[in-house]
A and B are shown apart, each in its own frame.
Chain A
């Protein structure tokens, strides 16, 4: 066996292992969500396929799954949009304007990320109660934006820093204001970075559990992760079929986003990887 074949075989084996390792839970989820009998887990009964769970979560009003999904999408989209916008503005000023203490600001932003989420939750709960925001979108969007901002700012700062300064100079000479430079030159050129930052923020907000658990009380603001966790059967049993079906359905929006922006994201992530 020559070296080249060996190499190819090893590459195939490793990537095969990784794919199985990462995707096995999803396959498991998919199988259970399609399985007709809750006893499937015990392995005693035969597998009989059904779309019943999917139909149940979508059509049963008392499960509120569609509400959760809508809440999740709205909260995540707004959080991603707001945080990316603020991060882009911050990154532009941090990389392009003569700010005193630039490095200090960046360092402080990094420090903010070092607080564990749990350490803030008591204060945030009091704040949200005082604002009367409990069980509203605002109670989630507000902390989500604050929580992903440091990371977004850092990603975009390293991205913007790579764009040549002469672009800004050329735009200034061509008569742009600072705002126009950001909107007409920097933002379009940095689009891959901005999109991947937005997607990361979206994924964070979509996955977030703890804030969502504490700041929401019912289907009017509750998001998918909490909603699924609190699914309950009629007599207190765990409805595995419904849980797995809901999990599979909630993957779909992320899948669509990832596929839609695939080209941009790969470019953005690898570029970020090279520098910073």
Chain B
């Protein structure tokens, strides 16, 4: 099923004034796609999900399931969640505490008035799929977090919804379980082939699960793309910083053109930009840019031998060994950078030579009020 959001806006009125939670969001989510809404908390991603579910009415704009308009601010169309046939998994799982696991899973079927024999069979199938067949008689209070999660998912998929909505479903689980459930969720979504919208604030979760991701900030969509596109071609500094860990380095640098060759100034030192970046730099309105360099694209002498010959003098401020790799906090004159290397031979206070892989650098316009993306 194709899910279309067109010019969607949601305004909340409170005593303290109106809050624009969703601001002119337009999206097309493809059939059978696992689509992730990614953004910091309070950015409006859950509101978008509630709008799709039919738990909130849009102020303006339209939502279509295939060709059917399910909600429209202008035409006063609004279908209930039941009429839309959506299923949702909540962060708190929202299991019915007074019902057994079996009755929890069977609840949507019973409300939908399905025959008693059908219910038993369907619940059995779904429970087997999620490996909770032995828990059917337990109450939610007796289950662990991971088991509750499975029950919530079982309840959601039991009546074959058209759209599957997940609101931070894994954030209440511990780290190991989250990893396991992530893989399982992805497999399940593939197997069922249900168009899925998944909300999370965790960029790793988003990257590993999604077919495509929309990055949301302050109710607006900053960029839509595959995980690969978002990582390698971020549209703006916000997306660049939000995706990737450790976060990308953003340096506000002056640049100048001399005989068709561009130079940037990092710290007190001048670096030649590769020719293929000239076009991008020429397009900027001022002679200042935000230079985005991912930590893995910073090479260090003695550790890496792939230096391009343009070296910067720097000092190691702090070392964070993570085992497989080491995160280094560097200082080049008065600029601070984060780098990632595979070795662990450097110590705090070492003086080193740094090589920035400028071919892979991202160039952004400096926002009017200065770079605010680093949070």
Contacts and interface: CB of A to CB of B under 8 A. Distances in A.
Contact of B96 (A173, A175, A180, A185): A185
Contacts, number: 52
Interface in A41-63: none
Nearest to B50: A169
A166 B96 CA distance: 10
B88 A175 contact: no
Contact of A173 (B88, B92, B95, B97): B88
A116 interface: no
B90 A169 contact: yes
A259 B43 CA distance: 51
Given A166-B90, A169-B55, A175 B81 contact: yes
B94 A175 contact: no
Contact of A172 (B80, B98, B112, B155): B80
A58 B88 CA distance: 61
A38 interface: no
A12 interface: no
Contact of B155 (A164, A174, A184): A174
A175 B108 contact: yes
Nearest to B107: A174
A170 B112 contact: no
A176 interface: yes
A170 B90 contact: yes
Interface in A136-175: 164, 166-167, 169-175
Contacts of A166: 90-92, 94
Contacts of A172: 54-55, 80-82
Interface string A181-224: 00011001101000000000000000000000000000000000
A170 B94 contact: yes
Interface string B90-131: 111011111000000001100110000000000000000000
Contacts of B50: 169
B199 to A, nearest CB: 14
A189 B98 CA distance: 6
A174 B90 contact: no
Given A173-B88, A175-B108, A164 B94 contact: yes
A172 B112 CA distance: 12
A175 B110 CA distance: 10
Contacts of B54: 172
A235 to B, nearest CB: 60
B53 interface: yes
A180 B112 CA distance: 12
A173 B112 contact: no
A173 B156 CA distance: 9
Given A175-B82, A175-B108, A167 B55 contact: no
Contacts of A174: 107-108, 111, 155
B8 interface: no
A110 B217 CA distance: 42
Contacts of B86: 173
Contacts of A188: 98
Contacts of A185: 96
Contacts of B92: 164, 166
Contact of B97 (A169, A175, A176, A189): A189
A99 B98 CA distance: 28
Nearest to A187: B98
B87 interface: yes
Contacts of B88: 169-170, 173
Contacts of B155: 170, 174
B86 to A, nearest CB: 6
Contacts of B90: 166, 169-170
Contacts of B112: 175
Nearest to A180: B111
Nearest to B112: A175
A225 B155 CA distance: 53
Interface in B30-62: 50, 53-55
B111 A176 contact: yes
A256 B98 CA distance: 25
Given A164-B92, A166-B92, A180-B111, A173 B87 contact: yes
A191 B98 CA distance: 10
A186 to B, nearest CB: 10
A57 to B, nearest CB: 43
Contacts of B81: 172-173, 175
B96 A167 contact: yes
Interface of A: 164, 166-167, 169-176, 180, 184-185, 188-189, 191
Given A166-B94, A169-B88, A174-B155, 5 more contacts: A171-B96, A172-B80, A174-B107, A175-B81, A188-B98
5 contacts: A169-B88, A174-B108, A175-B82, A175-B108, A176-B111
